[in-house]
Amino acid sequence: MSEHADSVMNVIFGWDPVWVAGTLFVLTYAVIMTERVNRAIVALLGGMLMIMSGVLNQHAALRGEDFNTLGLLTGMMVIVAITRRSGVFQFVAIWSAKKVGAHPWGILLMLSVVTAVFSALLDNVTTVLLIVPVTLLITQELKVTPFPFLFTEILSSNIGGAATLIGDPPNIMIGSAVPFSFNDFLFNLAPIIPLILLMTLAVVWGIWGRKMHASETARQNIMEFNERNSITDVRLLKQSLFVLTAVISGFILAHQLHLEPATIALFGAALLLLLTNIRRSSESQAKDVHASFAEVEWITIFFFVGLFILVHGVERVGLLERLANAVLDFTGGDLTNTALMILWISAIFSALVDNIPFVATMIPVIKSMAPVFGGAENLAPLWWSLALGACLGGNGSLIGASANLIVAGYAEQAGHPIRFVPFMLLAFPMMLMSIIISTIYIYFRYLV
Amino acid sequence: MSAEQFMSRDPVTAPADERVRDALVTMCRKHIHNLPVMDSDGKFLGLFGLRNLLRALLPKAATISPALKSLDFLADNLEEVIDSLQEVADQPVMNYLDREHLILCRTDEPIMEVIRKLYEAPTSLPVVLVESDGAHLVGMISYWDILAHISSQLGDVDPRLKSACVMNNNEGSDASE
């Protein structure tokens, strides 16, 4: 707690800071879980109360902010907001549907793989926003029920998102807190992802795939789609693909370039804004830049802002260290036990509640375990367990990840609502299957 | 000068269970874009408009939000649109009311507010009396009603415009549009 020497805690009414911080933290998380009030409002209120009650001063609170996570999220959101206007994602979806002769099972397979790949490179929510409308169009044309398609896309988005540093918020947070590079994530997490996706698709084949059928005329309708017409702006397409490629190459080379991911993402966002706005009138620039910034999911960003302060508050009063010690007592300070416990608890928690606050809390907890395991460099299995557990756990229920809710919202509007219980009855066991695969992977790769 | 004075009274209406097919016949014959729909007690439920029909002809992916921005990539499939129309035609109008874009008008609203609402609304304005048991439709206001009313006050300033607008509105006097 060296960084806190500059400020003495002046908690209101002379109350015990541990109790004040702990109560604020638990209350905020409880209200977030009820989902009665928007999570950004709750987290921001909780964070500010942490300051106003005197647990942190504003200066200390700002040190709790993980600006790398905030910058990376914002930058990628701006880049994707601009890129999607070119129609490229629609192009890929339709192109892949035609590649398999518009056969329903083939389309499900292709769209799931496309969803997983996009989710690995972009935000999951963005990915499903791009894929689901095309899916609904195709299933309506084929006259098949969209549920198996949407169900598999939800699972694929969370599975694909687990593969990279930028794929899913838990990974972004872990990548910011620990000096792991984009490539570290790729080498350690991505290898197991294809197997998990394959097994998931095998189950989907067993449940729906083998019975899928569409009439010849319906398939012909899809084959007559002209995907080239979905590219609305070729210039914009070239500009955004250039920037997107540059940014992803930047992530891969970040370590050698001595750059943090947020710098690369925000640079990419600024560059793409420049390319798309140069030589336009100042009025039209203002309009365009405003529209691009407006597509940033500010709810997520402000949720993070509040959360980081809350977690920093409980960390500072020493609560998270106590939690870490409790975990270690339970696992007997054994690395294998601790890693597998983190994997399973993360998965179950993330299925039932938002995985973002859970991961935000677990990061300092795991960090403080370093001395027990002989230094920070030995914690890798714990970090990969947290990442896989939190990302894949999101598949356990409809509320497990934001992308799930987005898909459900779409399905509801289209007149094919996805219900909580039927979804969970199928998705939870499949999530457990992915965690069993992860357990074997982590055990044999890191723990024997 | 309030809404009550320039609305069209006794507009043509349709019962909630009327089929789209029959509603369209009425609308085509009387040149109405928006048909007020009433429940069995004569309470106003909403408007069935040609815009709602267009919505029903589109694939769902184009009308949910956020929707597909363009359907340019679809093949030229008139048969599909015809099939959709056939399917929709046998449904009751009740299934296609657009509550999201419905803007209502009170009888005592001033002319400037009525013009503002007409500018904002994609349909004509239903004029209703809201009572505890529901909304009673008393009239409809269309662009033409407003124009006819204003130009009828022109006096001798522009007799040509005056007679054209007023006559146009009277021709479709039992229509709301």
Structure tokens, A334 = 């054994």
Tokens 């997983």: give the residue. A116
What pLDDT score does A248 carry?
93
Among A345, A395, A344, residue whose Cα is nearest residue A200: A395
Shortest Cα distance, chain A CAs vs residue B71, angstroms: 8
Residues of chain B neighbouring A111 (CB-CB closer than 8 A): none
Check A415 against B60: CB less than 8 A apart.
Answer: yes
DSSP state of A55: S
Is pLDDT of A24 > 70?
A: yes
Burial code (b: 16+ CB inside 10 Å, e: under 16) for A346-362 equals bbbbbbbbbbbbbbbbb
pLDDT: is A107 or A405 the higher one?
Answer: A107
Check A134 against B75: CB less than 8 A apart.
Answer: no
Query: In chain A, whose CA is at the least distance from the CA of B79?
Result: A221
Q: Give the residue from B55, B58, B63, B64 with the most A CB atoms within 10 Å of its CB, the best one to mutate.
A: B64
Is B80 near chain A, with CB under 8 Å? yes
What pLDDT score does A8 carry?
57
- Label residue A3 by pLDDT band (50, 70, 90): very low
Shortest Cα distance, chain B CAs vs residue A98, angstroms: 13
Check B59 against A136: CB less than 8 A apart.
Answer: yes
| DSSP collapsed to 3 states, chain B | CEHHHHCEECCCCEECCCEHHHHHHHHHHHCCCEEEEECCCCCEEEEEEHHHHHHHHCCHHHCCCCCCCCCCCCCCCHHHHHHHHHHHHCCEHHHHCCCCCCCCECCCCEHHHHHHHHHHCCCCEEEEEEECCEEEEEEEECHHHHHHHHHHCCCCCCHHHHHHHHHHHHHCCCCCC
DSSP state of A444: I
Kindly state the average pLDDT of the residues A232-250. Answer: 93
Residues of chain B neighbouring A141 (CB-CB closer than 8 A): 59
Query: Given A133, A221, A229, which is nearest B77 (Cβ)?
Result: A221
* pLDDT (tens digit per residue) in A332-351: 889 999 999 999 999 998 99
Count CB pairs under 8 A between chains A and B: 59
Report B:47-76 residues touching A (Cβ under 8 A). 59-62, 64-70, 72-75
Query: In chain B, whose CA is at the least distance from the CA of A129?
Result: B66
Residues of chain B neighbouring A417 (CB-CB closer than 8 A): none
Residues of chain B neighbouring A225 (CB-CB closer than 8 A): 73-75
- Label residue A49 by pLDDT band (50, 70, 90): very high
A36 in Cβ contact with A230 (< 8 Å): no
A401 in Cβ contact with A160 (< 8 Å): no
A339 in Cβ contact with A442 (< 8 Å): yes
Shortest Cα distance, chain B CAs vs residue A224, angstroms: 6
* pLDDT (tens digit per residue) in A224-233: 999 898 888 8
Among A220, A196, A240, residue whose Cα is nearest residue A97: A220
Backbone φ, ψ for residue B73 (5° rounding)? -80, -10
Backbone φ, ψ for residue B167 (5° rounding)? -65, -45
What does the alpha-carbon distance between residue A264 and residue A144 come to, in Å, rounded to a whole number?
A: 42
- Label residue A1 by pLDDT band (50, 70, 90): very low
Q: What angle do CA A201, A203, A207 make, to 5 degrees?
A: 115
* pLDDT (tens digit per residue) in A152-185: 999 999 999 999 999 998 999 999 899 899 999 9
Shortest Cα distance, chain B CAs vs residue A50, angstroms: 37
Among A40, A81, A31, A25, residue whose Cα is nearest residue A402: A40
Check A137 against B68: CB less than 8 A apart.
Answer: yes
Listed in sequence order, the DSSP H helices in A35-87 are 39-52, 58-64, 67-84
Residues of chain B neighbouring A133 (CB-CB closer than 8 A): 61, 64, 66-68
What does the alpha-carbon distance between residue A406 and residue A398 come to, in Å, rounded to a whole number?
A: 10
Q: Provide ipTM, 2 decimals.
A: 0.78
* pLDDT (tens digit per residue) in A374-395: 888 899 999 999 999 999 999 9
Shortest Cα distance, chain A CAs vs residue B94, angstroms: 16
Structure tokens, A200 = 């998931």
- Label residue A285 by pLDDT band (50, 70, 90): very high
Check B75 against A225: CB less than 8 A apart.
Answer: yes
What pLDDT score does A5 carry?
44
Is pLDDT of B155 > 80?
A: no
Check B73 against A226: CB less than 8 A apart.
Answer: yes
Check A133 against B68: CB less than 8 A apart.
Answer: yes
Query: In chain A, whose CA is at the least distance from the CA of B77?
Result: A221
Query: In chain B, whose CA is at the least distance from the CA of A230?
Result: B73
Shortest Cα distance, chain A CAs vs residue B60, angstroms: 6
* pLDDT (tens digit per residue) in A395-427: 999 888 888 988 998 898 888 999 889 999 999
Check A224 against B75: CB less than 8 A apart.
Answer: yes
pTM: 0.85
B20 in Cβ contact with B158 (< 8 Å): no
Residues of chain A neighbouring B72 (CB-CB closer than 8 A): 226, 229-230, 232
Which region holds residue B18: left if phi is over 0, alpha if psi is between -120 and 50, else beta?
A: beta
Shortest Cα distance, chain B CAs vs residue A390, angstroms: 28
Burial code (b: 16+ CB inside 10 Å, e: under 16) for A291-325 equals ebeebbbeebbbbbbbbbbbbbbbbbbebbbebbe
Query: Given B67, B73, B77, which is nearest A133 (Cβ)?
Result: B67
Is pLDDT of A135 > 70?
A: yes
Kindly state the average pLDDT of the residues A256-265. Answer: 91
Using an 8 Å CB-CB cutoff, list residues of chain A that contact chain B. 85, 87, 90, 94, 129, 133-134, 136-137, 140-141, 221, 224-230, 232, 410, 413-415
Give Cβ neighbours of residue A218 (< 8 Å, ≥ 6 apart).
A102, A141, A142, A143
A157 in Cβ contact with A127 (< 8 Å): yes
Residues of chain B neighbouring A413 (CB-CB closer than 8 A): 60, 64-65
Helix (H) or strand (E) holding A315: helix A298-316
pLDDT: is A300 or A71 the higher one?
Answer: A71
Shortest Cα distance, chain A CAs vs residue B53, angstroms: 16
Q: Give the residue from A127, A410, A418 with the most B CB atoms within 10 Å of its CB, the best one to mutate.
A: A410
Tokens 């899916």: give the residue. A135
Q: How far is C-alpha B166 from the chain's CA centre? A: 20
Is pLDDT of A246 > 60?
A: yes
Give Cβ neighbours of residue B108 (< 8 Å, ≥ 6 apart).
B2, B3, B4
* pLDDT (tens digit per residue) in B30-78: 888 899 999 999 899 999 999 899 999 998 888 887 778 788 888 877 8
Residues of chain B neighbouring A85 (CB-CB closer than 8 A): 69
- Label residue B172 by pLDDT band (50, 70, 90): low
Q: What angle do CA A106, A168, A109 make, to 5 degrees?
A: 5
What pLDDT score does A154 carry?
96
Range among A191-200, A210-219, A326-335 with highest mean pLDDT value: A191-200
Mean pLDDT for chain B overall:
87
Which residues are bridge partners to B137 per DSSP?
A: B128
Q: Which long-range contacts (CB under 8 A, 24 or more apart) does B108-112 make?
A: B108/B2, B108/B3, B108/B4, B109/B2, B109/B3, B110/B1, B110/B2, B111/B1, B111/B2, B111/B3, B111/B6, B111/B146
Within chain A, what is the greatest distance between any pair of CA atoms?
76
Mean pLDDT for chain A overall:
91
Burial code (b: 16+ CB inside 10 Å, e: under 16) for A82-101 equals bbbbbbbbbbbbbebbbebe
